[in-house]
Structure formats: C-alpha cells, structure tokens
Structure 1
Amino acid sequence: EIAATVPIAVYPRPGYTLKARLSPAAAMLRPWTLDTSDAALLPLMEPPALVFLGGPENPASATAIRAAGGKA
C-alpha cells in the first residue's frame, strides 16, 4: 500500500542492503525501480517508484535518528 502512495528511496545500511534488494517488495517493484544514477528523478516520479541509493553504508539506527529529531 505504501508503494502506491509515495516513491521510495532505500538508503544503504550495513547488514540490510542486500536483504532489501532481494526482498519480496523489491521484486514486486522491480518494473518501477530506477537506476541509482537516476535517483534525482525520484521526487518527480508517480508511485510506484523505487530507487536503491548508492554511497557509504550508514550504521545509524532509524530509532536513534527519530529520537534525535531526524539528525544522524
């Protein structure tokens, strides 16, 4: 349901990046998955749209980021 509502960007995280790419959701969204090089287009896309972002893996926990007011 979320994928039908907003475009999704997946940030690389240690221990989760490969799992995310092999997940059932990623398989379902494969036809709407952008190349990493096209990530800047994601905000312009109509859902469903998915991009796996490149870059260094960030070990920060989502819970800790939320607790810090969104600052990692």
Structure 2
Amino acid sequence: MTALPTAPAAGSAPTVDPMRAVAAYQQKVGDLTNEVVMRDAYIAELAETITALTAEIRDLRGQLGLPTEG
C-alpha cells in the first residue's frame, strides 16, 4: 500500500517542486519578453509616425512661407 502525502508540519515552509518553480519562472520570463517586444514594436511605430508628421508639418510650413526650423 502506498503512503498518502501528509501536510507539512506546523511552522515549516511548504515544499516546492523545483521543476515546477523553474517552469513557472521560465513561463513568466517568456511572457515578459513577449510584452517587451510588443511594446518596442509599438514605440518604433510611434517614432515613425512622429517623424512622418514632423516632415509633413515642415513641408506645410514651407508652402505657407513660414520658417521650417525652430
């Protein structure tokens, strides 16, 4: 007959399966890495949009005879 697992003694820390802990940690790192990559792509897209809008504004100012710098 197989012995049933018992609860940890009062005052002792619960046991943690190291393999499960490592797997959970790796999953969390992977999730955070994906989030950083997505945010980086979003920031790059925003930078391109800002650059394009700045060029458009500069062009329009030139068409109106306004200074294009400063």
- TM-score, normalised on structure 1? 0.20
More strand by share: 1
Q: What is the TM-score when the length of structure 2 is the normalising length?
A: 0.20
* Structure that is richer in helix per residue: 2
Structure with greater contact order relative to length (CA < 8 Å, sep ≥ 6): 1
